């Protein structure tokens, strides 16, 4: 405990520290480098222009980033670029559902124009009974077409994507079929009558 060290014992710690100095360290590692002085760290932080110093400039930078992201999403919705689509439209399953809905005429996509015609007919006194009958025919047609679409779509999804998550795809298809084809986003990528 209190004895004198031999020359061999003194050489062992020096050799291990020399060996440690020779080893290369990861520059991102938290240990193995001296902690910078506070003044150095603060000047490095000031030099990095990525973080704004006041609240106004931070809000302005966030608005600008959000505007760029929304512009990319708008372009993707118009062109169908998968990288920038919103999360609800991404993936091969959602693409198939969009193409499936867009490949056929759907009764629901004509609902808005038909509703305008029916409302005009209901204003005319002598055609009110006809307008009520047309409402009934349109609603029954939409319900029947939606049921057929859901059944056939589920069958197609089971055969084409047996191991993928298809949760929410039928609601996605029904919401897309309710929109007029010209107003659908992402824009239709297939023509009517294509084999889907």
Span 24-81, pLDDT tens digits: 555 555 666 788 888 888 887 777 656 666 888 888 888 998 999 888 888 888 777 7
User: Which among 80, 70, 100, 104 has a CA at the least distance from the CA of 160?
Assistant: 100
Q: How confident is the model at residue 5 (pLDDT cuts 50, 70, 90)?
A: low
Same domain, 77 and 117: no
Helices (H), 51-195: 55-79, 92-102, 111-123, 128-160, 169-178
From 85, 106, 132, the end of a domain falls on 85
Tell me how many domains the chain contains: 2
Same domain, 71 and 109: no
Same domain, 101 and 125: yes
C-alpha count within 13 angstroms, C-beta hemisphere, residue 19: 6
In-domain check, residue 123: yes
Exposed/middle/buried for 95, CB within 10 Å: 0-12, 13-18, 19+? middle
In-domain check, residue 106: yes
pTM: 0.64
Average pLDDT, integer, range 139-164? 95
Same domain, 95 and 68: no
Give the DSSP letter of residue 4. P
Same domain, 72 and 115: no
Whole-number Cα distances in Å, 21 to 8, 11, 34, 45, 87: 20, 15, 14, 29, 49
What is the distance between the alpha carbons of residues 57 and 54, in angstroms, rounded to a whole number? 6
From 45, 64, 85, the end of a domain falls on 85
In-domain check, residue 25: no
Same domain, 158 and 78: no
Helical axes 111-123 vs 128-160, angle rounded to 10°: 170
Span 73-122, pLDDT tens digits: 888 887 777 777 888 888 899 999 999 999 999 999 999 999 999 999 88
* Range of the structural domain that residue 69 is part of: 56-85
In-domain check, residue 149: yes
Tell which wins on pLDDT, 136 or 7.
136
């Amino acid at each position: 405990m209190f004895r004198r060290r031999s020359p061999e014992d003194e050489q062992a710690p020096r050799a291990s520290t020399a060996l440690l100095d020779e080893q290369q360290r990861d520059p991102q590692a938290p240990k193995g480098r001296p902690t910078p002085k506070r003044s150095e760290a603060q000047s490095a932080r000031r030099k990095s222009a990525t973080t704004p110093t006041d609240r106004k400039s931070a809000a302005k930078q966030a608005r600008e980033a959000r505007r760029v992201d929304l512009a990319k999403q708008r372009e993707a919705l118009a062109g169908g670029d998968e990288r920038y689509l919103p999360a609800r439209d991404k993936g091969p399953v959602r693409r198939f559902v969009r193409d499936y809905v867009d490949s056929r005429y759907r009764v629901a996509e004509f609902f808005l124009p038909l509703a305008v015609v029916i409302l005009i007919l209901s204003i005319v006194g002598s055609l009110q009974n006809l307008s009520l009958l047309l409402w009934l025919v349109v609603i029954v047609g939409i319900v029947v077409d939606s049921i057929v679409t859901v059944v056939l779509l589920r069958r197609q999804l089971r055969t084409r994507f047996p191991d993928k998550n298809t949760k929410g795809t039928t609601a996605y298809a029904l919401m897309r079929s309710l929109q007029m084809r010209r107003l659908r986003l992402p824009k239709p990528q297939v023509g009517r009558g294509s084999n889907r």
